[in-house]
Amino acid sequence: MKKIGGNLIALLQVKDEGEKNSIGERTHTWVDVASVKGWLDFSNGESSNTNFNSKIQESTHIFLCDFQSFKGLSGQWVWDALNFVNGKISDATLQKTVDATSENARMLIDGQVYQIQVIDDPMTMHQHLEIYLKFVGGQ
């Protein structure tokens, strides 16, 4: 397999640590850190009514793309865990790097939001990535 190429551009975003608002809850910002070209394929799903008669789509997808590392990505990354001033995160803008993982990242594909479940490099061959996604919705 030379190059996967693809027909979609997916935007990879990482969530920052957030800032506390007036009632003390954290508000997070999603930061663009990379774009990936590949294919999105439906894997499994259903659309059923819940207890409150609302229809909810639950589906899983797989995004196939050429191998690339998601380590050391950068954007306007301002969070620094070691830079606290009086118990608050410093407002100083720092150019930081971050590793995108299933715990801190999501993908935007054609205006739809997908939660990353697993980022798989099959057999660690560094030929392609299989990114398993869960559909969250358009926002």
Q: What is the CATH number of the domain that holds 124?
A: 2.40.10
Specify the pLDDT at position 115. 92
Of 108, 53, 98, 1, the residue nearest 131 (C-alpha) = 108
Q: Which domain holds residue 98?
A: 8-138
Structural domain includes residue 3: no
Domain assignment of residue 2, yes or no: no
Q: Does residue 1 lie in a domain region? A: no
Report the distance separating Cα 97 and Cα 18, nearest Å.
16
Domain count for the chain: 1
Residue 44 located in a structural domain: yes
Q: CB 65: neighbour CB atoms within 10 A?
A: 20
Q: Which pLDDT belongs to residue 52?
A: 63
Spell out the per-residue pLDDT of the chain, length 139, in tens. 456 666 888 888 888 777 888 898 888 778 888 888 999 987 776 555 555 666 566 678 899 999 988 887 776 543 344 333 333 333 433 357 778 888 889 998 888 899 999 999 999 999 999 999 998 875 5
91 part of a folded domain: yes
Asked if residue 93 belongs to a domain, the reply is yes
Is the pTM higher than 0.75? The answer reads no
